[in-house]
A = this chain, B = another copy of it.
Amino acid sequence: MEVCTIGGFEQVGKNMTAVKIKDDVIIFDAGIYLPAIIEIQEEEAHEHIYNEKSLRRIGALPDDLVLDKYGWTSKVKAIVIGHAHLDHLGALPYLAHRYPQAEIIATPFTMAVLDEILEGEKIILKNRKRIIKEDSTYVLNGSSGQIKMEFVHTTHSTLQCVFIAMHTSEGTFFYALDFKFDNYPVIGDPPRYNKLRELGRRGIKILVLDALYSGAERRTPSERIARNLVEDAMSSVRDRKAAMIVTTFSSHISRLKSIVDFGKKTGRQIIFIGRSLNKYVTAAVKVGQCPFKKEIIMMKYRKQVDAFLKKVEKDRGRYLLVCTGHQAEPGSILDRIVKDETPLKLREGDNIIFCSSVIPDPVNINARDRMDKRLRKKGVRIQTDVHVSGHGAREDMRDLVILLKPKHIIPAHGTLQQETPLIELAGEMGYKFGETSHLSSNGKVLKFD
């Protein structure tokens, strides 16, 4: 078995891994690297056109051209997407055409999000698409024999995330990006501990593992905790005449559910603003996983939004606005509101709840610092960090390794600095760096007997 760690092994983003068993290659994820796009937007004022060429040039795509070099390209039989986040899915529209024989395999929600993106970008893919359910199995007839994939439900921060256990004639490969062990998820079930233990008993050869927070010596708390924080933050807004805005991640359907549930108790009308929210909510509705669809109104286009914000300005206590822009991204709806670029002018007593944390990068820190200062100056009441991450930490990883007992561990989803603590954790558990635990780099091939 050979593993090519194509992308996401030297940064957070553009995740992509290929596994070769004899003459069959299976790709896991094809994500985009958003910071590269944001950088180019900030550097250059003009409009950008995104296509494979321009995205490759700025480093926003995983460099899957290495597969050509290795002669793997024509052998790709399937591209499996673990969940619907852009750093796992967002490169697919630009790369899939290179693998015309490959099926695209994903859960219903993930596929629905892909379809939304393709429609938005006006890209048509010719690959066959195969929708698989969580906790189901799919058998692919490779030239090397049967390849059986088990899609094991797990918990993260969007809908229908799966671990993938791929059983082959050369052993079982286990792909575990992204996850945290959440025993009290807001939508859906807890992780399948028994299934994982059983797989561990049957034997795992290689585990590729989301190591992002392996340096944090804790378990990541449940989304239930975030739900409680949301309730507390929203119920503490007591002024019924003040504006009320909540900002969070557009793909985080559970979080949105909590916001809507407690939003209803305020008696305000709930408005979702922006294209990104629209995309994910539409996908959730399509697959019957949007419990709050009747409770909200969606607004997508800038004109519509600005006209509506005029109404909000006059009757601000009547609405609850939900939008993105929590990182103070320039041009986001929240950024425009805070800078008084829309008809809604925030004032003393108005409320903003940030269901997010500041991503610790100088750009975001600076942008949010300035946004928060502006809001304080206006007397806006802000609540921040009403949030719990969807990525597990060191103790989640320890538990997964205990359950699966893999022969080999390969940390993923981070820089080397973020991945090495998992190597150290593995060391505590008896793995030996360079023999049974491995650090890889983008484009490298690791071979296992």
Contact = CB atoms under 8 A, between A and B. Distances in A.
B428 A376 contact: yes
A156 interface: no
Contact of A366 (B236, B365, B385): B365
A193 B441 CA distance: 32
Interface in A200-234: 217-219, 221-222, 224-225, 228-229, 232-233
Contact of A228 (B224, B420, B434, B444): B224
Contacts of A236: 181, 183, 219, 399
Nearest to A42: B370
A316 to B, nearest CB: 19
Most chain B Cβ neighbours within 10 Å, of A219, A235, A238: A219
Contact of A424 (B221, B399, B417, B423): B417
A362 interface: yes
Contact of A440 (B224, B434, B440): B434
A366 B376 contact: no
Contacts of A221: 228-229, 232
A169 to B, nearest CB: 26
A414 to B, nearest CB: 11
Nearest to A439: B439
A369 B235 CA distance: 39
A441 B427 CA distance: 10
Contacts of A416: 420, 423-424, 433, 439
Given A183-B236, A363-B366, A432 B441 contact: yes
A231 to B, nearest CB: 8
A67 to B, nearest CB: 17
Contacts of A233: 219
In the A-B complex, the 8 residue pairs with the closest CB atoms? A433-B441, A366-B366, A362-B366, A362-B369, A416-B420, A434-B444, A434-B441, A417-B420
7 contacts: A10-B433, A221-B228, A362-B362, A432-B443, A432-B444, A433-B440, A434-B440
